[in-house]
Each structure stands twice: as C-alpha cells, then as structure tokens.
Amino acid sequence: MAIRNIVKEGDPILRKTSRPVFKFDEKLWTLLDDMKDTLDKAQGAGLAAVQVGVLRNVVIVDVDDGKGLMELINPKIIEKSKETITAVEGCLSFPGKWGAVKRPATVVVRAQNREGKWCLYKGEGLRARCFCHELDHLKGHVFTDYVLKMYSEEELNQLIEDNKRRELSIQSENSDQVEAFEKPNVLENNPENTEN
C-alpha cells in the first residue's frame, strides 16, 4: 500500500473520460488500497482513480455516516430523487476552493465490488452528494462546472456562522438554502481546512 500523488486543477487528465474495468485482479486491488491510503491521508470523503492519474472507472467513498468505505467499480447512477439539496463542497484536486452545488437528495448507484460482483448502493445527503461528485470525475467533469456560487475560505466561514445564527438544521427542506454548518460538511476536505 502506498500514498499516491493527487493531481490538481489544471492537469488535463481531470478532463479525460475514464475507461471500464474488466480485470478484477491484484493490480486493481493495489489501486484500491492505495486510493484508500491516499484518501485517509488527505482526510477526504471520496476519491476517483483519475485523481491519482489512473483513467479507470473506479471511485472510493468514505463518508462519516457509519457505513464505512465503499469501493465502486464501473459505477452508474440508476436512480435519483427529484428532491435536491444545495450544499458547499470541495475537491482534493481543488485545494482551498469551495462551491455551492445542487445535487439530488438521494441516489442509487449500481457498481461492481473488488471481486467483480454487481451491487446496489443507496446514498442519502452527503453520501449521495459524494457519489455524484466522484462519478462526475469519471466523465471528466469537476464540481466547478456545476457550481452556483464559489466561496473563499473567509466567505465559507461567514456562511457557516450565518447558518448557525439562523439555527437551520442540516435537514433543511428548503433546497434554495445553501447548507454549510461546519467545515467538514464538504467533500474531500483539504487537510489544511479540517482543524475545526
């Protein structure tokens, strides 16, 4: 297992389309293990293989909701809710950048596991957001393509304070409201931004 280099904004590989995985072998397992180490070190919520320079349909998602790490190979979104949530997210390939993005509140993803078995994965809230964000990477799309408003570090802190003052709950039904209540309420936290 090893920590791999995360490619950053401006690297043309982030715009390329990833290819399907056909071989569920040692090479894939090493990639998955390395991606987990890389994600853990970066304290992120999700990572796509393209972000470590591998153009394969592989993503991992590790949201702090008790369900643990999910490895999704050849994933496709097969269902998404009409209900949406607009929240602030970030990306390990865009350190220090934050943006409000509208995402479905719930999605169902069909994907293979590391043994090649097809499984269904349901995601709600942050996990749904994370599935959408990571699957976008496989098509060469990044969150800034969909962003409604970008936030600097300062603006994000201000938004968090404002939301706390209004005492809005994270389950806010108003999809026009931009959710952000604490720094970790974003994808793929930049390590420098996770002190609180």
Determine the Cα–Cα distance for residues 133 and 188; give it in Å rounded to an integer. Answer: 10
For Ni ion, the closer CB: 37 or 162: 37
Determine the Cα–Cα distance for residues 162 and 106; give it in Å rounded to an integer. Answer: 26
91 binds Ni ion (CB under 5 A): yes
* Least Å from the CB of residue 169 to Ni ion: 26
Rounded to 5 degrees, φ, ψ at 156 are -65, -45
For Ni ion, the closer CB: 7 or 170: 7
* Least Å from the CB of residue 143 to Ni ion: 6
Size of the site for Ni ion (CB under 5 A): 1
- Give residues 129-168 in contact with Ni ion (rule: CB under 5 A): none
Active-site residue flag, 173: no
- Give residues 40-79 in contact with Ni ion (rule: CB under 5 A): none
* Least Å from the CB of residue 134 to Ni ion: 7
> Given the rule CB under 5 A, which of 12-20, 91-99, 106-114, 169-177 is the region that contacts Ni ion?
91-99
Could you say which of 71, 89, 134, 188 is catalytic?
134
Active site residue ranges? 134
Interacting residues with Ni ion (CB under 5 A): 91
